[in-house]
Amino acid sequence: MNKYTKEAFVNLLEDKLTRKRRIHMEDASDKDLYYVIASIVKDELTPKWLDTQEKYKSNETRQVYYLSMEFLIGRLLESNLLNCGLLDVCNEALREIGRDPEEIYKNEHDAGLGNGGLGRLAACFLDSIASLNLPGHGSGIRYRYGLFEQRIIHGNQIELPDYWLKEEYPWETRKTDEAIEVHFGGSVHMHKKSDGTLEFSYHNTDKVMAVPYDVPVVGYQNNVVNTLRLWSAELPQDESDFLSEPSSQYYHHLDHTHSVEQISGFLYPDDSSFEGKELRLKQQYFLVSATIKGIINKFKDEHNLPLTSLQEKVVIQINDTHPSLAVPELMRILMDEEGLNWKQAWNVTTKVIAYTNHTTLSEALEKWPVSMIQNLLPRIFMIINEINERFCQGIWFDHPELRDSIPELAIIADDQVHMAHLAIVGSFSVNGVARLHTEILKTKEMKNFYTLYPRRFNNKTNGITHRRWLLQVNPCLSKAITEAIGPQWVKQPNKLISLLRYSNDRPFLEKIDQVKRENKQVLANLIHKQTGVTVDEESIFDVQIKRLHEYKRQLLNIFHVIYLYNELKENPSLDLTPRTFIFAAKAAPSYHLAKEVIKLIHHVASIVNFDKTVNGKLKVIFLENYNVSLAEKIIPAADISEQISTASKEASGTGNMKMMMNGALTVGTLDGANIEIKDLVGDDNIFIFGLKADEVLNYYKNGGYVAKDIYNTDERVRKILDQLNYGEFGAHEIEFKDIFYNILYHNDPYFVLKDFDPYIESHELIERAYRHKKSWQKMSVTNIAYSGKFSSDRTIKEYASEIWKI
């Protein structure tokens, strides 16, 4: 797989620099080199891209479309080099000419087209689909602004726009000739044909062009290049032509232009609470309509088959309910544009669409006001209404035992359209993203639907691409693994299990330890550069990196820090293994309490980091602007992975898998995929604490937990809360009253106090365990060994064989 020698690659760089950028190597900036290397990669992948797509055309098998409002891809140059088999030679060539590869790769602006877990999952899935040589396509929106950039000023989060397209994005290709019209608003006319059937036509709709930009998805050294198609909203050509001089028409036109381009303007930055914003609904329909029309056009082009057999060639996976308008949109096209009757169209739709659920948090469920859908998408609303009518009638007649539940099951109720219900009723598969999560769906949140459609529900435990999250981000660990067990694990991540044989092998353990130390050193340098704080590389790097949410309980973590600080103040000679607590998290801009927690973390840091009595035993670091690229730096350096959500709340988690794969030990609750991690590594190789999901759910149902009791009886807790309330932390007395009140007067809805004691105890175990280097390393290796299961290759194989049948 050595296409180039180092010398040949250097020559190639030289040649490209002069021809493409008219500059000599000596004068080339890092950016010049970035663009030139991207261009070499594009030359490499373009023929494979064409071949792959050509093959799919003549291919008779079904193809999958992964529909998602988010694809959190991060940077692509290094992973594309890796997957093309050029990373090593490129790195060598760059070093040969005296350049640092990392300095060059970081010239790519992160594509931050996602909020967090759900968007990153979509990106990992694309990588696995291509690497497993499966015919699959991603479909999303080309937001002009990705997720905001976070700055912290005096502990406060400030959001800055992320204009990621400022400079040329080398990976995209605009496909003007494949643009598709999407229609909004207008009115629907119904007309009876001579055969008695109804015909629908639309009038005075607002037209928007969806212009595709294709991004290659490179499979791992297998010549496959799939496509991620990102749609951009533009004004239709005929509407920009008629313009001449300024008139009222002209301003109307400018206004319209503006509102059209807004559709792909920015990514909504919330990921936990639903707000029914019209622009968001427009985005969702825009994605769905463009994608489905594109699919149907291609089907008609490539196959000489009636649309009644669409399901033989196409399956659409919808990433949460955000694209669930796919159900009525596919119905609409099949009936109004392709002439199928209801029964035929419904048969096709419910064999094509599959739905993944990512949350059971009720505040996150999408429920759109009827009036909004009716105005924006009148025909779509009629179809949703009809689906609802037929569905409710079906229950009435076929499931008399569920008659009383019809109001809870209905798709339309209380003047709202319940998108999860639409997605369940209109699909053939409903899956959760970890075993516990799927069980909760089946037995609690979607119990009645499970009774109706038991065979529809299934579990697909999430995964992460081990190529990016191990091979690419941790090359030294990868090398050590390969030296021990050979290279097969790269193509078959389950083979990592062979590492178990090395869990007592001194030289191997020492090697692993050395790699971790080097990674910690690199992170320590970055921390120093970004925050000015020096951290002890020998300390435990205790990491919590994820979106900021009450249920993820960053608060519990910082309470632990405050507790340790208080202990040290009482007894400065306390024998404590030095710790560095590392946080990174963005809060949704409107999430007040989350922002308060960020402020609290900074406040604690500003006191702890500079207090001489602590004597360097504690450091608290908050790294701003958490994104994929920052995660890539932190994860290889983690000793402890904090996965401490209130049990039942975290559908799966994927950061837990990434850190495990890089040898961190998890401290966590029995929630999401933590449970599956624990089942693999065993109780001795993980630190589990706290309430279990059924206990949490019982407390919610029956009460019985009183936060104030803990405040009154546990001195440690009382002290911390009083410090927040009475402003002992710094000068501003009132700063953390909201947190104080939320816990004591809203009865601690996420059980921070209830889990405080067991959490502290777990950390005491961690502290003791870390002192025994050898056994710690053994635990670390055990975690890496079992992490193969969490490769998204495993997840995608399950989707492919059990849902997609490809």
Per annotation, catalytic residue among 6, 367, 467, 546: 546
Provide the β-strand partners of residue 148: none
Residue count, binding to ligand 26Q (CB under 6 A): 23
Tokens of 342: 């209801």
- Distance separating alpha carbons of residues 279 and 484, to the nearest angstrom: 54
Residue 553 CA to chain centroid, in angstroms? 19
Residue 176: active-site member: no
According to the binding rule CB under 6 A, does residue 651 interact with ligand 26Q?
Answer: yes
Residue 279's contacts (CB-CB under 8 Å, 6 or more residues apart) are 262, 263, 265
Shortest approach of ligand 26Q to residue 275 CB, angstroms?
Answer: 6
Q: Among all chains, which residue has been given the structure tokens 């109720």? A: 413
Report helix, strand or coil for 590: coil
According to the binding rule CB under 6 A, does residue 271 interact with ligand 26Q?
Answer: yes
- What is the DSSP code (8-state) at residue 213? E
- Distance separating alpha carbons of residues 333 and 338, to the nearest angstrom: 6
Binding ligand 26Q by CB under 6 A: which of 672, 675, 705, 766?
Answer: 672
Shortest approach of ligand 26Q to residue 564 CB, angstroms?
Answer: 28
**Region from 219-227, 358-366, 573-581, 747-755 binding ligand 26Q, contact rule CB under 6 A:** 358-366
Residues between 425 and 464 with contacts to ligand 26Q, criterion CB under 6 A: 433, 462
Say if residues 417 and 406 touch (Cβ distance below 8 Å).
no
Between residues 280 and 298, which has the closer beta carbon with respect to ligand 26Q? 280
Residues between 303 and 322 with contacts to ligand 26Q, criterion CB under 6 A: 322
Closest listed residue to residue 597, CA positions, set 743, 766, 756 = 743
Binding ligand 26Q by CB under 6 A: which of 358, 511, 520, 763?
Answer: 358
Shortest approach of ligand 26Q to residue 554 CB, angstroms?
Answer: 14
Instruction: Report, in angstroms and rounded to the nearest whole number, the Rg of the chain calculated over CA atoms.
Output: 27
Q: State which residue has the least CB distance to ligand 26Q.
A: 117
Between residues 366 and 624, which has the closer beta carbon with respect to ligand 26Q? 366
Per annotation, catalytic residue among 321, 356, 654, 782: 654
- What are the b/e assignments for 630-665, b being 16+ CB within 10 Å? bbbbbbbbbbbbbbbbbbbbbbbbbbbbbbbbbbbb
- Distance separating alpha carbons of residues 303 and 296, to the nearest angstrom: 10
According to the binding rule CB under 6 A, does residue 117 interact with ligand 26Q?
Answer: yes
Binding ligand 26Q by CB under 6 A: which of 118, 334, 376, 608?
Answer: 118
According to the binding rule CB under 6 A, does residue 654 interact with ligand 26Q?
Answer: yes
According to the binding rule CB under 6 A, does residue 372 interact with ligand 26Q?
Answer: no
Cβ atoms < 10 Å from Cβ of 254: 12
Shortest approach of ligand 26Q to residue 406 CB, angstroms?
Answer: 26
* Triad 381, 383, 389: Cα angle to 5°: 105
Cβ atoms < 10 Å from Cβ of 798: 17
Shortest approach of ligand 26Q to residue 340 CB, angstroms?
Answer: 31
Between residues 270 and 767, which has the closer beta carbon with respect to ligand 26Q? 270
Q: H helices of 727-790, where?
A: 737-745, 756-771, 773-786
- Distance separating alpha carbons of residues 379 and 332, to the nearest angstrom: 8
- Distance separating alpha carbons of residues 607 and 714, to the nearest angstrom: 24
Between residues 108 and 445, which has the closer beta carbon with respect to ligand 26Q? 445
Between residues 121 and 335, which has the closer beta carbon with respect to ligand 26Q? 121
- Distance separating alpha carbons of residues 176 and 288, to the nearest angstrom: 19
Binding ligand 26Q by CB under 6 A: which of 652, 725, 777, 782?
Answer: 652
The CA distances from residue 226 to 61, 129, 287, 317, 744, in Å, are: 15, 8, 19, 16, 52
Per annotation, catalytic residue among 313, 456, 552, 603: 552
- Distance separating alpha carbons of residues 301 and 245, to the nearest angstrom: 41
Strand 63-67 relative to strand 314-319, pairing = parallel
Residue 547: active-site member: yes
Binding ligand 26Q by CB under 6 A: which of 30, 206, 270, 738?
Answer: 270
Q: Among all chains, which residue has been given the structure tokens 């406060």? A: 156
Q: Among all chains, which residue has been given the structure tokens 């293994």? A: 577
Binding ligand 26Q by CB under 6 A: which of 146, 426, 653, 690?
Answer: 653
Tokens of 65: 């479309």
- Distance separating alpha carbons of residues 645 and 659, to the nearest angstrom: 16
Between residues 104 and 631, which has the closer beta carbon with respect to ligand 26Q? 631
Between residues 424 and 535, which has the closer beta carbon with respect to ligand 26Q? 424
Residue 460 one-letter amino acid = K
Binding ligand 26Q by CB under 6 A: which of 274, 299, 342, 699?
Answer: 274
**Region from 134-142, 525-533, 650-658, 707-715 binding ligand 26Q, contact rule CB under 6 A:** 650-658
Between residues 122 and 781, which has the closer beta carbon with respect to ligand 26Q? 122
Binding ligand 26Q by CB under 6 A: which of 596, 650, 676, 755?
Answer: 650
What DSSP element (H or E) covers 582? Answer: strand 579-584
- Distance separating alpha carbons of residues 90 and 81, to the nearest angstrom: 8
Binding ligand 26Q by CB under 6 A: which of 28, 84, 94, 121?
Answer: 121
Residue 745's contacts (CB-CB under 8 Å, 6 or more residues apart) are none
Site string for ligand 26Q, 240-269 (x = CB under 6 A): ----------------------------x-
According to the binding rule CB under 6 A, does residue 115 interact with ligand 26Q?
Answer: yes
Between residues 642 and 650, which has the closer beta carbon with respect to ligand 26Q? 650
Shortest approach of ligand 26Q to residue 56 CB, angstroms?
Answer: 27
According to the binding rule CB under 6 A, does residue 155 interact with ligand 26Q?
Answer: no
According to the binding rule CB under 6 A, does residue 663 interact with ligand 26Q?
Answer: no
Between residues 361 and 760, which has the closer beta carbon with respect to ligand 26Q? 361
Shortest approach of ligand 26Q to residue 317 CB, angstroms?
Answer: 13
Residue 193: active-site member: no
* Triad 52, 176, 74: Cα angle to 5°: 60
Shortest approach of ligand 26Q to residue 281 CB, angstroms?
Answer: 9
- Distance separating alpha carbons of residues 550 and 708, to the nearest angstrom: 18
Provide the β-strand partners of residue 60: none
Per annotation, catalytic residue among 120, 144, 282, 358: 358
According to the binding rule CB under 6 A, does residue 200 interact with ligand 26Q?
Answer: no
Shortest approach of ligand 26Q to residue 650 CB, angstroms?
Answer: 5
Provide the β-strand partners of residue 416: 369, 413
Binding ligand 26Q by CB under 6 A: which of 21, 62, 99, 280?
Answer: 280
The number of residues making up the chain comes to 806
**Region from 44-52, 230-238, 451-459, 645-653 binding ligand 26Q, contact rule CB under 6 A:** 645-653
Residue 173: active-site member: no
Shortest approach of ligand 26Q to residue 222 CB, angstroms?
Answer: 26
**Region from 53-61, 138-146, 357-365, 716-724 binding ligand 26Q, contact rule CB under 6 A:** 357-365
According to the binding rule CB under 6 A, does residue 366 interact with ligand 26Q?
Answer: yes
According to the binding rule CB under 6 A, does residue 364 interact with ligand 26Q?
Answer: yes
Residue 639 one-letter amino acid = D
According to the binding rule CB under 6 A, does residue 793 interact with ligand 26Q?
Answer: no
According to the binding rule CB under 6 A, does residue 342 interact with ligand 26Q?
Answer: no
Shortest approach of ligand 26Q to residue 125 CB, angstroms?
Answer: 10
- What are the b/e assignments for 517-540, b being 16+ CB within 10 Å? eebbeebbebbeeebebebbbebb
Between residues 366 and 793, which has the closer beta carbon with respect to ligand 26Q? 366
The CA distances from residue 36 to 5, 9, 90, 107, 377, in Å, are: 17, 12, 12, 12, 45
DSSP-based helix, strand, coil % in the chain, nearest 5? 55, 15, 30
Per CB under 6 A, residues contacting ligand 26Q are 115-118, 121, 268, 270-271, 274, 280, 322, 358-359, 364, 366, 433, 462, 650-654, 672
Catalytic residue ranges: 358, 546-547, 552, 654, 658
